[in-house]
Structure 1
Amino acid sequence: MATIVVLAVLSLRAWVVEPFIVRSDSMEPAIASGSIAFVYKPAAAGAIENGAVVAFTNPVDGHTAIKRVVAGEGQSVAIRDAELYVDDVLVAEAFVDHSRIDATYFGPVTVAAGSVFLLGDNRAVSIDSRDFGDIPVTSIEGIVITATK
């Protein structure tokens, strides 16, 4: 019986929900460093919407990281004086402290087919798609459904 329970738990973690320890402050204040994020893996196979926080394979170091999807394939992304614009429309981002990134400019860039553009909420310290470019949707491991400190 214990073997069945262990196998069930391991299967659940491998294919459904996996806990992930956040080791960066790039998503603060929404998700603090040291938090445990729960990643829903079946969501990786579906359409990922703008605004979703996702776990993905970081192309810089190969580790799992989390960031927010701000644009999908074919959309243009720009940051003008710390404000995010997707397809030239200002995106309201209550979770971003714009005063910490005042006078920041980026883009515009167009997201490649089969990819998403990811940004950290704490843009002053985040290493994200501004640095490593678009992320293929196939690199997304799942959607963060909750995080606790």
Structure 2
Amino acid sequence: MNRSSPTAAAVTADPRTGDRGGARQRPRPTGDDTPRAAAAPADLRTGSRGRPAWRPRAWRPRAWQRLRGLGLWLTAALALLAVGSLAGLLPVQAMRVDSDSMTPTVTSGDLLLVRHGSGPVVRGDIVAVEHPLDGGMLVKRAVGVGGDQVGIEDGVLVVNGSPVCEPAIDPLLLDGVWFGPVTVPPDALFLLSDNRDGSVDSRAFGPVPTSEMVGVVTGRVWPHPGPLPSPSAGC
């Protein structure tokens, strides 16, 4: 009896796919078919694909706190300086004018800077002194120093026999006014207002000792910062 050699039974193919059940062969990668890592999904909140979002460094809040603290210290220091200046505790003092006796050079409401001390004072300087009558504060112009002879002749200031050029002073307001002459004692000042019509100055209370000086006005702080105009400007 002849025996035929055993053969493998044919496998019927799947009519839908043609698959005969054998092991599925994977295609060999060629060219651009090399395997690639899958892209990381984007973060819907930041749009980042796997990279951490930028965050401020931890020292930034601390630096801001330091700057804020420095600003507070500077503000406090400026406030202390302002208080010390107004109280006269510093070499310079801010002084507010509350009268029009020095117009047009200084007007009411101006904030002036006064350098403490009793001199040296030259003719034409604007000085701050203690009021000889009521103890308040006066801002006047020193028109005469110790040894000078001061007078007013028909509204014109005369010092040591010579008329003084004062462009800021309107002599028509003092038309017919005569005063003196008087001699200024040593270590004293003869003070006049720039607005001399009806102002109280050394014509009423006499020369003022330099020991009663608060200081020399060096400039204006507000509303027009800078030095005050020279009394001889325009002569």
Normalization by structure 1: what TM-score? Answer: 0.90
Tell me, in whole angstroms, the C-alpha distance in 2 between the residues paired with 1:143 and 1:52: 7
Unmatched tracts of structure 2, length 5 or more: 1-69, 224-235
Mapped pair 1:16 → 2:91 = yes
Cα RMSD of the aligned pairs, angstroms, is: 2.1
Contact 2:157-2:163 within 8 A present in 1 as well: yes
- Structure 1 stretches of 4+ moved >4 Å: 10-13
Pick closer, same or farther for the CA change 1:134–1:103 going to 2, 3 Å: same
Deviations 1:49-95, CA, capped at 9 Å, x for gaps: 00000000011110111000000111100100000011001111111
Deviation at 1:36, TM superposition (A): 1.1
Q: Closer, same or farther in 2 for the Cα pair 1:132/1:8, shift >3 Å?
A: same
CA distance in 2, matches of 1:65, 1:143: 12
1:37-76 aligned within 5 A: 37-41=112-116, 44-76=117-149
1:3-27 per-residue CA deviation (whole Å, 9 max, x = no partner) reads x937972556523211111111110
Partner of 1:5: 77
Comparing 13-22 and 24-33, the one that deviates more = 13-22
User: In the aligned structure 2, how far is the partner of 1:111 from the partner of 1:15?
Assistant: 31
Q: Secondary structure at the match of 1:99?
A: helix
CA distance in 1, matches of 2:159, 2:178: 14
Shift of 1:48: 0.5
- Supply the AA of the counterpart residue of 1:127: V
2-structure distance, mates of 1:70, 1:90: 12
SS at match of 1:14: coil
CA separation in 1, counterparts of 2:128 and 2:89? 14
Equivalent in the alignment of 1:33: 108
Q: Equivalent residue of 1:25, what SS?
A: coil
SS of residue paired to 2:89: helix
Do residues 103 (structure 1) and 180 (structure 2) align?
no
Deviation of the 1:103 alpha carbon: 0.8
Which residue of structure 1 aligns with residue 151 of structure 2?
Answer: 78
Higher relative contact order structure (alpha carbons within 8 Å, sequence separation ≥ 6): 1
Task: Give how far 1:45 is off.
Answer: 3.5
* Paired letter, 1:50: R
Gaps of 5+ in 1: none
- Residue identity over aligned pairs, in percent, reads 35
TM-score (norm 2): 0.58
Larger radius of gyration: 2
Distance (whole Å) between structure 2 residues aligned to residue 96 and residue 7 of structure 1: 38
